[in-house]
Structure 1
């Protein structure tokens, strides 16, 4: 940090507290606490422990592990400890250890785990636990559960619970823990997009309202203009803002997308005045939206709350944006430029009734939103 003495004084004022950072550092130095991720799982309060762990990872003292995987592992220890039935605990431990965690670790090798993905993984474990309790209340076990039991359970639970439980049931079937059964197909529901005029009105409000927080304005326009989920917005880095002599570009996919005025001016102004840059955790952060934890961007739930406070529904706005893009451009082009999967944009184009033809002339991405990327005032 800029003034090490002030940091040492801060630690000294809190050294008498057993759960203080100063005390944990002292115990790490003496070996009372092992310098491992597993040891940090047991420290309370967990938020303070997570903050120290991320500082140690950013300094290279602890091996770098995805933050959300650390959070899930810590939660799993407490969840397993709350189970009183040893047989149920063994099944849940096996499911979490050999099915849920490997999927998270594999995903983290491709891109960082989102908080939503970590919550979904925890929900899968919680629903699996509830299912075992449901069987026990009816004097059944996994070994006696077959098609009749699966049908009865599905009839009693809602769509979200059924979809969340699917991974556990498939794992039980593959592991021969249950009798053979079949599952109904997954029902996928998409959010209803907001009307296009409302989306453009919200973009205009964010671009022209100087009384609104700059961070929220920039993030909100990225969502509404480029159809980006907040989990992806918070992981944008300064290196994703490409400056050229003629135009500012934002790398969301390939090639980078043009940034129209006045968003370009707002984006550059935000880069020069980013929050959370004055502490030891982020003094050299490259995140476009730095968080308060070492090496971490702003939490997407925090950003969602800030945007929602302005009356902007992020999911409906993002859905409207991607729908408009696939109506006005080839779905593969949209997928490449905005970081979507080609299958996703193809399905969205089909659902939206898009009939793009190569004969039709299509314009640059930013222009199709009603903004002029060149800043000439034309749209």
Structure 2
């Protein structure tokens, strides 16, 4: 047989075959390449139709800047699933926006920012999606989206509530933005910091609007009025604590008390269930590789799924010929089963041609060009296999806090020092023995493990 992809329309020796193998013409063949025609378009296959569509799109680009789009055109044309790209080119708002912008010149970040300021949130998401594609295919340079997105949200909020501009603008620029930058030094970790800033801006606006409706200025607000506002809605209002503390320190209000958002005490797994799940993750080949790897990182290191989903391939490396995983500042020496599992995951090819020419490679790639999987999609995959995410994370953090002091745990897992201290108190660990071991080592006693005593050696977990 011809071993080609064709429509089977005849029989030969009791087997279904294509027309040419049976001595007939193939009425379903694409006239350009001979592959089966597409049911979406008339006369051509998906890939030939895609080539024509891309030619029409990029030939309209001025000749002086057309070369900037060549990596993007090549990557889209080489996609393993041309119908996916064809749907994007023909039907998506972002593709139509690209057509309009590219007909004049190569769009810049500033062009997209100007468009995003003047549209609603839905259209702004379309612009951000297009920006991500252009960055992925190196049409636009990379930049830190955290500052731009937060300032854009501030501008949109001030435009809707100009009466709050004198308080919101300095609060965001001198309080939220510096802390967001410090907490998210890498682009991969910026998405949750953007949501963190959005929540605080929106809550501050809601609080200022509520007191204004009562005919009050911020300087006139009393503790009773703050308590009444907090009690009038779900616990998300407690996020106003950040703004209230800032306002009091700057003399815009009286000292007001807003407690931390109430949280339920976390509940963990029993030790047998925890290690049974970890053993399943490391040995059960019936599970998909990404589920096994994500659950192993979750069960061992207690990481948020948002951080697990954003792990780049470069997080895996070697120190002194030992495989390590870098979650924050300190490399963690991996046990052999975990190292082999993550190495196998990193060695997998990208899921499709969408990822060609991407400057980033992720351990858990997503379906969007150059993007990692979303934490929501990863959570669904784990839940499908009955892995209790919150319980597993709590158990892992309690066990780690029971074995390591907060000063080691915080840079190891990327936790804030206050958070690391919180988990230490939950684990109720007495560190007297640990400190005594370090003192006796300096005096010639029994040495503590080198991975803990030496600052340059990565700790071993597992």
1:119-158 residue pairs with structure 2 within 5 A? 119-157=195-233
The structure-2 alpha-carbon separation of the partners of 1:161 and 1:153, relative to structure 1 and needing over 3 Å to count, comes to: same
Match of 1:376 in 2: none
2:75–2:354 contact (8 Å) kept in structure 1? no
Match of 1:304 among 357, 379, 400: 379
Match of 1:21 in 2: 95
| Displaced runs of 4 or more, over 6 A | 8-18, 360-368
Which residues of structure 1 form unaligned runs of 5+?
370-379
Q: What is the deviation of 1:199?
A: 1.5
**Higher Rg:** 2
| Correspondence 1:186 to 2:186 | no
Match of 1:4 among 74, 83, 88: 74
Which deviates the most, 299-308 or 56-65? 56-65
The structure-2 alpha-carbon separation of the partners of 1:281 and 1:135, relative to structure 1 and needing over 3 Å to count, comes to: farther
Question: Secondary structure, in 3 states, of the residue corresponding to 2:93?
Answer: coil
**Matches of 1:112 and 1:340, distance apart in 2:** 16
**Matches of 1:107 and 1:264, distance apart in 2:** 28
**Matches of 2:156 and 2:329, distance apart in 1:** 43
Q: What is the deviation of 1:305?
A: 2.9
Which deviates the most, 288-297 or 318-327? 288-297
Provide, for residues 48-79 of structure 1, a one-character-per-residue CA deviation record: whole Å limited to 9, x for no partner: 42232123334565453334544445555554
The structure-2 alpha-carbon separation of the partners of 1:23 and 1:69, relative to structure 1 and needing over 3 Å to count, comes to: same
1:1-379 residue pairs with structure 2 within 5 A? 4=74, 7=77, 19-21=93-95, 23-30=97-104, 35-36=109-110, 37-41=112-116, 42=118, 45-58=123-136, 61-62=139-140, 64-76=142-154, 78-80=156-158, 83=160, 86-88=162-164, 91-92=167-168, 95-97=171-173, 99-109=175-185, 112-157=188-233, 159-162=235-238, 164-178=239-253, 180-186=254-260, 189=263, 191-243=266-318, 247-252=322-327, 256-280=331-355, 283=358, 285-341=360-416, 344-356=419-431, 357-358=433-434, 359=437, 369=462
TM-score after normalising by structure 2: 0.64
Aligned residues: 365
**Matches of 1:245 and 1:148, distance apart in 2:** 60
Q: What is the deviation of 1:165?
A: 0.3
2:299–2:393 contact (8 Å) kept in structure 1? yes
**Matches of 1:109 and 1:249, distance apart in 2:** 21
Provide, for residues 273-328 of structure 1, a one-character-per-residue CA deviation record: whole Å limited to 9, x for no partner: 25445215665533222334455433333323322333323233122112112323
**Cα RMSD, aligned residues only:** 4.0
Question: Secondary structure, in 3 states, of the residue corresponding to 1:249?
Answer: strand
**Matches of 2:87 and 2:410, distance apart in 1:** 53
